[in-house]
Amino acid sequence: MTTPRQVLASGSRRQGLRARRRRALLWVATHALAVALALMFLAPVVFIGLTALMSDQQALTSDLWPHEWSWANFAEVFEKSALLRWAGNTFLYATLATLFTVVSSVPTAYALARFRFRGRRAAFLLVVTAMMLPPQVVAVPIYLVWARLGLTGTLWPLILPTLLGDAFSIFLLRQFLLTIPRDYTDAARVDGCTDLMTLLKVILPMARPAVAAVALFQFFYCWNDYYGPLLYAGVEQRDLTLSLGLATFKAFHSVQWNLTMAATLLVTAPVIVVFFLAQRVFIEGVTLTGVKG
């Protein structure tokens, strides 16, 4: 025999179930577009991952799910390519370029944001103009300069220019620094700090999100850069970067799509991992960047 307490408990459970269903339907209706876009962007990644684990006979057939999980494809990629050497070259290029870009762009952005000097607006206009200038326009004269210096065939023509700063990084940092109240810098000067000490001890800790965003932008750009290494890295396999090496690997193994997809997954995985680990500070640095002029 059912007691009144059991009836009430059953009714409350049904109400709770209906409330959860209502909240789930409301969430789906609210985020339907975001879910659809997420699935659209994830579909190629899932396709690459599944194809990388297929056999050579099954790859690019109508069967989208691997019959057998061929984990040996990844080992075969390392055997048939200099992937570790390419990864070392890419990591060296991306790390040094990122470090040099941050070190050179932060003081420049600080000067454009805080100092009052003749030609400041013209200098900022020059930075904006450099952002809009395609690199292909100046590729030939710059290549001739590096060729005369004997640095072609290496990655140094791509690393050394970052010592002079990057236009986009300077612009992004300058816009962020403009959002920091001047009261902080004025108080630091009253306490006897020089401009350099103010930058290092006051401004940099507050601008950490923007600096992190600039560093990630530069690192991702260098990691995925294909045009620059194509011009300067040369043709030796030991001198290639991952993007250029992946292109040559695809050319040699174009009929083995499972190996090509496995190599693609190995190349893109580090960038995806780094982004997910640093996405909070990356998004914070981008969203907090002001548009103040």
DSSP symbols for the chain: ---HHHHHHHHHHHHHHHHHHHHHHHHHHHTHHHHHHHHHHHHHHHHHHHHHTS-TTTTTSS--S-SS--THHHHHHHHHS-HHHHHHHHHHHHHHHHHHHHHHHHHHHHHHHH---TTHHHHHHHHHHHHHS-GGGGHHHHHHHHHHTT-TTSSHHHHGGGGG--HHHHHHHHHHHTTS-HHHHHHHHHTT--HHHHIIIIIHHHTHHHHHHHHHHHHHHHHH--HHHHHHS-S-GGG--HHHHHHHHHHHTTT-HHHHHHHHHHHHHHHHHHHHHHHHHHHHHHHT-----
Note the pLDDT of residue 157: 93
Note the pLDDT of residue 210: 87
Residue 255 inside a domain? The answer is: yes
**Same domain for 25 and 149?**
no
**Same domain for 226 and 114?**
yes
Encode pLDDT of 28-45 as tens digits: 788 788 888 888 888 888
Note the pLDDT of residue 289: 52
**Same domain for 36 and 91?**
no
**Same domain for 16 and 116?**
no
**Same domain for 100 and 21?**
no
For the chain, the domain total comes to: 2
Residue 36 inside a domain? The answer is: yes
Note the pLDDT of residue 102: 94
Note the pLDDT of residue 292: 45
- In the predicted model, what is the mean pLDDT of the chain? 83
Distance CA 190, CA 147 (A): 51
Q: Which positions ≥6 away from 278 have C-beta within 8 Å?
A: 212, 216
**Same domain for 164 and 203?**
yes
**Same domain for 261 and 123?**
yes
Q: Are the CB atoms for 163 and 104 separated by under 8 Å?
A: yes
Q: Which positions ≥6 away from 270 have C-beta within 8 Å?
A: 223
**Same domain for 241 and 172?**
yes
Q: pLDDT higher for 283 or 161? A: 161
Nearest to 58 by CA among 43, 73, 45, 44: 73
Distance CA 113, CA 115 (A): 6
Residue 65 inside a domain? The answer is: no
Note the pLDDT of residue 290: 47
Distance CA 76, CA 81 (A): 9
Residue 212 inside a domain? The answer is: yes
Residue 239 inside a domain? The answer is: yes
Residue 60 inside a domain? The answer is: no
Q: List the structure tokens of 104.
A: 């050179």
Note the pLDDT of residue 9: 55
pLDDT at 243 over 60: yes
Match 């990356």 to its residue by tokens. 282
**Same domain for 8 and 129?**
no
**Same domain for 41 and 107?**
no
pLDDT at 291 over 60: no
**Same domain for 183 and 225?**
yes
Q: What is the pTM of this model?
A: 0.80
* pLDDT band at 104; cut points 50, 70, 90: very high
Q: Which of 52, 73, 89 is a domain's end point?
A: 52
Distance CA 159, CA 103 (A): 13
* Across 256-270, average pLDDT: 87
pLDDT at 2 over 60: no
Residue 62 inside a domain? The answer is: no
Distance CA 290, CA 255 (A): 49
**Same domain for 10 and 96?**
no
Residue 168 inside a domain? The answer is: yes
Residue span of the structural domain in which 99 resides: 81-287
